[in-house]
Chains A and B, each alone.
Chain A
Amino acid sequence: AQSVTQPDIHITVSEGASLELRCNYSYGATPYLFWYVQSPGQGLQLLLKYFSGDTLVQGIKGFEAEFKRSQSSFNLRKPSVHWSDAAEYFCAVGARGSTLGRLYFGRGTQLTVWP
């Protein structure tokens, strides 16, 4: 069965520091992988996605993620965090084919940024 694990429930970093949010997935084949961000009072916004090809994907707001098949991971990174990045981050896995759109989400990582 598909599942996503985000081992860190809450992460705190200082503004300007680097960030890495961990995501591990369980899926029987090569999945589609996504990172979404959710700010208070706003809907989930797609940061980036991996479908195929280059395993290092660039997203919006300076985020990137690397797909590592051998580790079943899709960690999200940002070299220098801004205070506006404080939000909740969700990793998700989707199946290829007709059920695309049925995503399995992790429980999320809450990011706090100190000034």
Chain B
Amino acid sequence: GAGVSQTPSNKVTEKGKYVELRCDPISGHTALYWYRQSLGQGPEFLIYFQGTGAADDSGLPNDRFFAVRPEGSVSTLKIQRTERGDSAVYLCASSLMAGGGTGELFFGEGSRLTVL
């Protein structure tokens, strides 16, 4: 596709359940990022992939959060034992390259997660 695609666009789950959020980046973009945007706040960095490996996962709030990008393209953010505080919009972004690149991130529309 032309842009970053995120699915599902909306997810409602119950406290304690497991959730997966998927991100399909722009074709050819080697860098992929996950951000979380809580109500009334700006996006907050979670994790960054360069290719298949997580180059920086220091933004993940705790060990219930995990992300993978096994083939260097699509990424999945996984949240175990969801809590009400996990409710937010999860944004995915990709860029042509990190480090020496232009630094422009292309964001998807986000996946809105609601934990009841």
A residues whose Cβ falls under 8 Å from a Cβ of B: 4, 6, 32, 34, 36, 41-46, 49, 51, 90, 92, 94, 97-108
- Give the distance in Å from the alpha carbon of A102 to the alpha carbon of B45 in the complex: 6
Shortest Cβ distance from A9 into B: residue: B40
| Contact status A43-B56, CB under 8 Å | no
- Give the distance in Å from the alpha carbon of A98 to the alpha carbon of B10 in the complex: 33
Shortest Cβ distance from A45 into B: residue: B107
- Give the distance in Å from the alpha carbon of A94 to the alpha carbon of B106 in the complex: 15
B residues whose Cβ falls under 8 Å from a Cβ of A: 3-4, 31, 33, 40-45, 48, 55-56, 59, 91, 93, 95, 98-99, 101-110
| Contact status B103-A105, CB under 8 Å | no
| Contact status A105-B42, CB under 8 Å | yes
Which of A46, A100, A101, A105 is in CB contact (< 8 Å) with B43? Answer: A105
- Give the distance in Å from the alpha carbon of A107 to the alpha carbon of B91 in the complex: 15
- Main secondary structure on B side of the interface with A: loop
| Contact status B109-A43, CB under 8 Å | yes
- Assuming A101-B48, A101-B93, A102-B33, what are 18 further A-B pairs, CB within 8 angstroms? A43-B3, A43-B106, A43-B107, A43-B109, A46-B104, A49-B102, A49-B104, A97-B99, A98-B99, A100-B98, A100-B101, A102-B45, A102-B59, A103-B43, A105-B43, A105-B44, A107-B40, A107-B42
Shortest Cβ distance from A92 into B: residue: B42
Shortest Cβ distance from A4 into B: residue: B42
Given contacts A43-B3, A43-B4, A43-B91, contact A101 B40 (CB under 8 A): no
- Shortest C-beta distance, A9 to chain B (Å), equals 8
| Contact status A98-B110, CB under 8 Å | no
- Shortest C-beta distance, B10 to chain A (Å), equals 12
- Give the distance in Å from the alpha carbon of A104 to the alpha carbon of B46 in the complex: 11
